[in-house]
Structure 1
Amino acid sequence: MSAITVIGGKASEDLARKLAKKLKASFVSTELRVFPDGESKITISSKPKKGKIIVVNSTYPPVDTNLLQTLSLIAKARQFSNQIICVIPYLGYARQDREFLPGEIVTLSVIAKLLSSAGASKVIVVDMHSMLGLNHFTIPVRNVSAVPELANHLKKMRLKNPLVVSPDLGGKERAKEFAKFYGTDYIALQKQRDRKTGKVQIMTGNLDEVKGRDLVLVDDMISTGGSIIKATQFLKKQKCGKVFVACTHALLIDNADQKIKKSGVSAIISANTIPGSTSVVDVSGVIAKAI
């Protein structure tokens, strides 16, 4: 078996180190310097060995900066190997996978072209927002799920008669999968979002089945937390027990974690696709398996 080198971008250094350990690969760190005008200058700390190179970097905010750094690392890695697996645990722009309103640009399709032009031969992402997004890639792309790991973590927390809840119908399949790994049942709320203003409304009527039960609200990502807060307020009115939130990508923009806790959520559990205080679930194992 040829040597494997993992290059860890600054946005995912800890996860990249864990992945290198799981793959028994050599690890190359990166040095980053940001100039006063915002330009990034990246230097790899050592020369990768001949063989497969895995570049690991998430593209969470600042999205464009982290994206450009990822592309730069891929291009650098291409100088040493033609086998470049690019692991983007959290892929920014994944929600822009279709034209919702006339004239909108499907930015994900632009990102897919950039990744392959930079030299990636394969891309691995974790819990892509929608499987439709995978169709924009011309190189092999693999989506892996953090759901089994998240469910295992929550299982250890000994919840009271737990019920898995999706904050909207779009996440119904995710909630179903989570409930299957957890070994319980699930429901999905009906939500309406105004495409122009982004305002969220819960359309579901009264729910007797949540009464007295601890709930796990499951989502792929939490940005501002608007949907989670609305769902929690609604569920608390239905006299449920404690509410826990499980998501893969916790962006938590503008102190969203504090706002979510204020609405009545006991704890937020997320994966380490985005580093932060809630990212207690490690996905290096599922990524290593996919590689």
Structure 2
Amino acid sequence: MGYNIAEFVAVTSRSLPGVELVANDGTFELAPPGYAAPSANSRIDVIWVRSRFAEFGDASDAPEFGITKGAASPTPAKPSLPAGALELAVAEVKATDTTTQTVIITQSVRYTAMAGGSVPLRNRMEQDAWAPADGSLAHRIDNGIHLVRVGGAWAERVPAAHQGRRGSAAQPAGIEIPTDTVQLPQGVIVKTGTLVAGTTVSFGNEYFPVVVFDTPFPNKCLSVTANPLTGDPITKATGAIGFDTVAANRFRALIPESSNPWVRGFTYIAVGY
């Protein structure tokens, strides 16, 4: 039994405080001698890669692929990895497996990006597990939402284009509409933009996604004014557009006492300094 590892480029950390670039330029067959399914129950195995350095006591300077086997159990647990190893995938091996073609394999390697880039996240679980510094960017592979880290939490990067009607499962297409910033005399700054998005309902109000400014106001956002849009696929807001959050780097608009989600839109003017 064994696993085929496809080509990839990864960043690992074998010896702090440095990092290493590992490149696999073709399919690698990982089939350790004696690797087989457990005699009973099932176990969780982890496939990994790590850099090696002879000067630190390793057998060679070549990168190493490996499998760390968990303990067989009716409720198997994931084993710990060797120091410096980067997890590539997780395999659930059952006693009835005679080949890895029937093993349940989950791709679990974490993605990364160059400094300032947007890190791909497969799902909400990976989003919740990553807590980087404010200003970090990410995007969800499963739903296309673009994210920014603000105040120790994730917020949607908007404006984003949506399609759909009331009651539909509208998803963002990840299209960002650029905003404009105008520097006025005496340090007053005006920011303008447009948001088209599917709303959500909570606490008896209809909420838009959070709008995060491309560049925060240096000190404070004094006010935000929103004017509703209309036209396919937008349903025009008939009530007043209010705000529950106005900060130097973001705001969130809402329609009070509205109990149905729609695709809405508005243009805004934000004034601050």
State the TM-score bracket (shorter-chain normalisation).
Answer: under 0.3
TM-score by length of 1: 0.24
Say which structure, 1 or 2, has more relative contact order (CA 8 Å, 6+ apart). Answer: 1
Say which structure is richer in helix: 1
Name the larger-Rg structure. 2
Say which structure is richer in strand: 2
